[in-house]
Chain A
Amino acid sequence: MTGFVALLGHRNREVLATWRVWVLPSVLLLFAATGPPTARYTRELLTWAMGDQASLLQTVDPTYLDSYAQWSKNLTQLVVFVVVIMAAGAINGEVRSGSAVLLLVKPVSRTSFVLAHAVSLFGFVAVATAVGTAVTWVGTWLLFPEAPPGPLIVSTAVWLVLIAVLIAMALLASAAVDAVAGAAGIGIGGFFLLAILGAVPAAAKHSPAGLTGLVGNLSIGEHMAVTWPVVTGAALAVVLLAAAVVVFSRREL
């Protein structure tokens, strides 16, 4: 882990000094700010858009759960792609530009190089998501004063486990593949694979494949067993990161 602390500081400054500091928080804040009013005023919006025909649609009264479901849907259907693309260019981008070589001929181990990317990126995503979750809850509470924060927090926490798996997967691809598009394709492919496997009940219950469905179900207040998917998801993230370290350590630069 030689050079890890110096490198982690560098990564964090990089996040703040580049486009990354704007893209992900902007996406999350947009979803956080628009989700609650969209959930609350869906019926009114439909009436405004469709006129008398809107009365033909059977709609139930909106609740805070609609707002929470909207947030979890945005996380699992849109934000994951932004994060995977960010991670997919992390290692190979620096190798291609030559900046990785200048670091790695100094007292910086390749393990530190990979892990600093992982920790910095996950920390950044976690902080931005926490802020987005808080904004979502405040917006929901203003429109639905009875809204408890619990389901939102739990489902977002489970989503962070899913995103840890996807970051590790994309970093492994970034360590192994030169092209950012190729690495992003592997990361996105991994996400779809997990989602497809999640349709198999046994896999959803006992493996990381259940994480995607779990996020949605927990957000609407359903009580689900989270232990197996969360523990196996965290373990898979660790294994994928270890694989990224091994692959990058064996790679000639």
Chain B
Amino acid sequence: MTPAIETRGLVKAFGEHHALDGLDLTVEPGSVFGFLGPNGSGKTTTLRVLLGLARPTAGTAKVLGHDAGHPRIRHVTGYLPDVPGFPAWMTARQVLELYAGVFGLPRDVARRRVGSLLDLAGLADVTSKVGAYSRGMRQRLGIAQALVNAPDVLLLDEPTSALDPLGRRSVLDLVAGLRGRTTVFFSTHILSDAERVCDTVAIVDAGRVVAAGPLDEVREGRTVQRRLLVETDDPARLRAALADEPWVSAVTEGTGPGALEVTTAEPERAALGLPALVARLGLGLTRLEPVEPSLEDVFVGLVGVTR
């Protein structure tokens, strides 16, 4: 099956600086793909190249089998930039009607779709001009306009960054609801958002993919540091004793009374050493379990060490 998005050795240079430095990426059709990376890692540049707004210096970028920038792509993609810009004199309805007209939607289809997208964006009753909108309202209108052509590929650049918790939740629910029908390419640095809706992720740093694959595999396979939750009747004594153990990287307060989180790069050694240490100290052990690694653990492990 043709990948929804595929880049091979993609390079984008601005003078000496390489915003993209050999980016390899494959996004399967129907997936919700999280494109993660710190600020300046090349996420927005990748989107600009895929949309034909910028030309690659080297390498290839394809969307649904077409070279990036091919006119056909514009009919089947939707795009939300990180800061969407609209003519200030228009209302939300006028904006969506304009874009529906640009896509050549039949009048009745356009009317129905604009109405439902305004409902979706929570802007159906807003009659003011876009120029008076808050950033969150613009973002919601931006998401609505990206869906006006019912796209096969939806490219979202930091879609939740300007939203309040409720708006964020509705966007994430919307994205999750598109799974299987539309390929969603979701660029973000909010890792909890990616964990919530993405089935596949790529972590990009300095213009290169440093980890990619199904979310669970990336989380499990790329975790450098593991954490163990240990709960005893005297956490202060245990904490003091842990300071002398060579397999301990860090100790933090856990959630709950008497709980500590022990971070280690040697999980097998820690699994044996922790109960032995608790027994040696004569403490009562009430809980000992691994903490599920988060995407943040992977992210920090892969890109945090260099920053």
Contacts of A13 in B (CB 8 A): 94
Bound-state Cα–Cα, A97 to B102, Å: 19
* Cβ–Cβ contact A105 & B85, under 8 A: no
Which residues, 1 to 25 on A, are CB-close (under 8 Å) to B?
Answer: 2-3, 6-7, 9-10, 13-14, 17-18
Instruction: Write the B149-184 contact mask toward A (1 if CB under 8 angstroms, else 0).
Output: 100000000000000000000000000000000000
Contacts of B85 in A (CB 8 A): 97-102
Stretch at the interface among B70-78, B249-257, B265-273, B297-305: B70-78
* Cβ–Cβ contact A108 & B55, under 8 A: no
Q: Which of B53, B86, B94, B102 contacts A253 (CB 8 A)?
A: B53
* Cβ–Cβ contact B81 & A98, under 8 A: yes
* Cβ–Cβ contact A101 & B53, under 8 A: yes
Q: Which of A14, A17, A99, A107 contacts B102 (CB 8 A)?
A: A107
Whether, in the assembled complex, B33 has its beta carbon less than 8 Å from a beta carbon of chain A, the answer is no
Kindly provide the distance from the CB of B148 to the nearest chain A CB, expressed in whole angstroms.
Answer: 9
Kindly provide the distance from the CB of B288 to the nearest chain A CB, expressed in whole angstroms.
Answer: 53
Contacts of B86 in A (CB 8 A): 98-99, 102
Whether, in the assembled complex, A179 has its beta carbon less than 8 Å from a beta carbon of chain B, the answer is no
Tell me the interface secondary structure of chain A in the complex. helix
* Cβ–Cβ contact B75 & A107, under 8 A: yes
* Cβ–Cβ contact A104 & B53, under 8 A: yes
Contacts of A17 in B (CB 8 A): 89-90
* Cβ–Cβ contact A14 & B89, under 8 A: yes
- From B86, which residue of chain A is reached at the shortest CB distance? A99
Whether, in the assembled complex, A223 has its beta carbon less than 8 Å from a beta carbon of chain B, the answer is no
Whether, in the assembled complex, B284 has its beta carbon less than 8 Å from a beta carbon of chain A, the answer is no
| Known contacts A102-B142, A107-B74; 20 further A-B pairs (Cβ under 8 A) | A3-B102, A7-B102, A9-B101, A10-B98, A13-B94, A17-B90, A98-B86, A99-B85, A101-B53, A101-B85, A102-B99, A104-B53, A105-B53, A105-B79, A106-B74, A106-B149, A108-B74, A252-B53, A252-B54, A252-B55
